[in-house]
Amino acid sequence: MKHYSVAKYITPMITSVCITIISIHLACAQELAKTAQITEIEAIVTDRPDYTESVETVPAGKIQIEGGYTYTQSDRHSASQSFGEALIRVSSGRNSELRIGLNSYDVNHGPEGSNHGLEDADIGVKIRLTEGKQYTGLRHPAVSVIALTSLPTGTGSERGRDLQPTVKLCLGFDLTQRLGLGVNANYSYISDDTGHYSQFNPSASFGYTLTDRVGSYFEYYGFYPEGQRPKTHYFDTGLTYLINNDTQLDVRIGAGLNGASDDFFIGTGGAVRF
């Protein structure tokens, strides 16, 4: 009778299982590496220079800082400049971010003289509600919501009287491979020298990719306060230039569309992600 060693059969089996497990882990590691590479090469998406907020949140583990400068001509005798416009966006999850708007420094010139000071800061969150379907058109938008409030931290006439909360519903549509549409429906509760009141603030921005590095947009936005307060309407357009996947520069120009609006404005800025 022949006696067969158990090890003769068990050892190859264990070896085969180990090789299979290692192969699976290597395959998973390769897929994770590919995913990481894809994540790394995704270009920065900013909430400037247009007025309309994007649906995108900052990728997990990232911080994004946006800022700029704007010159505004209110009429023939009045103008203002805004320095800073800083927005810090910190990822707080896969589909959410913390948003901190730092105080911009304003310089105002008018018939009655000049004044300057810091605007109020603000703090809020953006949450991505839906990713949107992988189709072009208007039927399957991506959806996000932003909730924020101003903080009465400004100086002089720039300081607000109270907290002023705002909620923004953000929709994003891929119309073609190069053309996109962003739509915001915003509601704010305002407090100023005339009292407390609600304000509706819609916007729509068409973005078009000119090259891998250059993008463009044109948009409308307006402010519709309740009661007899004047409504204002604006049109603006601009360009973005992608230096690398984490750095972008921008320029914009716009004009008021009715007598109650500012005459025109021009601005520039940028964003960096790390």
Where along the chain do its domains lie? Answer: 1-41, 45-273
pLDDT for 254-263, tens place per residue?
999 999 999 9
pLDDT for 211-233, tens place per residue?
999 999 999 999 999 999 999 99
pLDDT for 156-189, tens place per residue?
888 888 899 999 999 999 999 999 999 999 999 9
pLDDT at 194: 81
- Region for residue 76 given its phi and psi (left: phi exceeds 0; alpha: psi -120 to 50; beta: otherwise): alpha
pLDDT at 156: 83
Terminal C-alpha separation, the chain: 72
- Architecture field, domain 45-273: Beta Barrel (2.40)
Token digits of residue 17:
């299982």
pLDDT at 113: 86
pLDDT for 20-47, tens place per residue?
433 443 343 344 334 444 445 589 999 9
Q: Is the confidence at residue 246, as pLDDT, over 50?
A: yes
pLDDT for 114-163, tens place per residue?
999 999 999 999 999 998 766 677 888 999 999 999 999 999 888 888 89
Q: How confident is the model at residue 6 (pLDDT cuts 50, 70, 90)?
A: very low
pLDDT at 248: 98
Q: How confident is the model at residue 12 (pLDDT cuts 50, 70, 90)?
A: very low
pLDDT for 62-112, tens place per residue?
999 999 999 999 999 999 999 999 999 999 998 999 999 999 999 999 988
Distances (CA, A) of 41 to 36, 54, 104, 197: 9, 19, 32, 45
